[in-house]
Structure 1
Amino acid sequence: MRRLPTPLARPRARTVWPAAVAGTIALALSGENAAHAAPPAPRVLTTTPPAPRILSTPVLAVAAAPASYTVQPGDTVWAIARAHGLDTAAVLTANGLDASGVIRPGQVLTLVPAAPTPPPAEAPAPATSGRTHEVRAGDTVSAIAVANGVSLDAVLAANGLTRASIIYPGETLQIPTAGAGAAAPASVSPATAPGLDAEQSENARLIIRIGRELGVSDRGIAIALGTAMQESWLRNLDWGDRDSLGLFQQRPSSGWGSPDQIMDRERSTRVFYGGASDPNGSATRGLLDIPGWEGLGYADAAQAVQISAYPDRYAQWESPASVWIAVLG
């Protein structure tokens, strides 16, 4: 038998894959092997990572509103205020305008309103001493203040009164502690009433004080004040019509007293009021001696005492006399 030669191993054909396919297979094989492989060691950072970058927001400078603005053609207050970041009402107020106000080209508007004036601090109420005074007929606030060694202003402030306030018998006044409220300096003149100078005010104060002491009503005191104003301008005159003298122009020849007695302001005032304590007794008739005098008209009551040739002239002093009592009494 013919021995046939051993066939040579036929070389296996090599398949050449395109690079892209080869790469894909390689990745697939790598992934398959990775499933069975030990996990890779963690990566160790050998350097500190840079700090994170901080993004800053730029601050926009806001320009302050100018102090004023000159109006241009076509401007409105609303537009001007908006352009400067202001409130329209504030601009109107700063320039004395209202919503219907008209502005004109060339007009200068104030844009920065004046700072508001802080309210004045309230003065502390004067401390009271716990003492009180019940008002009696003839009392005045000034006399009560003197009797208690405190200033007139302190008593007024402690009781919410003014120099024009009127006090009445039976009313209770709080007396502040000594030294509360500053007493008026010695150089300051006494208070004067409207329309009166210092001399007239002093004479009016005397008439009011005596009337209070006698328990005369404010109406009676007002009649005495008006009478003295009409007769002598509230001055203690040493002359007058014929032999008339003094505050009330009383006549010695008619029994009102001697010239010296009539020139005594306090005595002549008490004689005008009359009544049970009249220094002149029954020689003359004062206001309190006139039956029903409180029901008479102002001028009629004065005329009943004075018997003047011009009785109607007393009436003009009725209203001023009430003010004088309020200020001086």
Structure 2
Amino acid sequence: MRTHAVARRTRYLQLGVPAAVLGTLSGAIAVVPASADAVTPPIERLHSSATQVKMAEAPPAAYTVQPGDTISSIANRFGLRTVDVLAWNALTWRSVIYPGQTLSLAGASAPVAPAAPPAQAPATATHVVAAGDTVFGIAQRYGTSVDAVLAANGLTRASVIYPGQQLALSGTSTPAPVAVASAAPAPVASGGQTHAVVAGDTLFGIAQRYGTSVAQLYAMNGLSSGSIIYPGQSIVVAGAAAVTAPAPAPAAATAPPGQLFANLDAEQAANAHLIISVGRNLGVSDRGIAIALATAMVESSLRNLSWGDRDSLGLFQQRPSMGWGTPEQAIDADRSTRVFFGGASDPNGQGSRGLLDITGWEGMRFTDAAQAVQISAYPERYGQWETQAYQWLGLHG
């Protein structure tokens, strides 16, 4: 073996390769895998401690889920972003995948061409989208395919659907329409008896203790079914009269139905100021900053939480397991805000997709722009804070 090494060294020197470089070349040759010619170029992923290089497989048009797979692991395997795989398959962060399920990865190689407008495709049935619906779930319910639903409605795999939207279902039996009702909640009560939340409290338990209802607690505190309560929070439990006759508020008097309002405490106001400051620093428009404020209110009640659904953390409840950074990074309020905005200055690089990475976000509905980043099962909740978010922008900016 030494004879062969000497021979190789002699050949390199004959080719004019400097001896000082020879050791480096030999080392590089020694570690080239046998299948290197069939492997795509490496994709670099930045981590908190060091840069690791992964060899990503070329993504196929479709992938069949295997036991133990997660959306995140599939995305990492093919060098994709988790949020893109979710969008291409009309899934949310809460969606469950199962072995044998087919996932589309077609968006990785080329965008899906827009389908013909629904007016050109005859539809024999319609479905009214309800909270939690996905295109995949709707297709299964009516015995059709995701592609058929997309084509019948002029959608792509990156499109966002929302409660109240009507989807045409070409060639299916007539469904039972799903009604979507939206009642305008009352503003927060300014007085009355209060309850200090302790660990283990729930709104249902508090309502029973004070002889009221969960709906009344929602109304008196400006809460909704998606609101988070936390130890130390003060909940109004009596004084409904203050709700029916609130102090005059010009903004509330002209606010559209369905909008939510809340007075921020010191902690929430500080986080609102941070979000606004980061947005200004990045050159984000007022609309983009308002979207960030509303999103943080829905996800964490504008609190930098160290807990959440599964591994969701921080102001925007970003999930480390879905590529949003490490747990420590997710609860770094400044960093997580920059990751939500995304764009060229995104500290997470290509690991996630922020607001500025969404093509045409400025022209989207307020709630749809937030949903394009968050991929929530309840996309309409962001829009309920639109009016209030602009008020916070003016007050804390």
Please tell me the TM-score bracket, short chain as reference: 0.3 to 0.5
Larger Rg: 1
The structure with the greater share of residues assigned to helix is: 2
With the length of structure 1 as denominator, give the TM-score of the two structures: 0.41
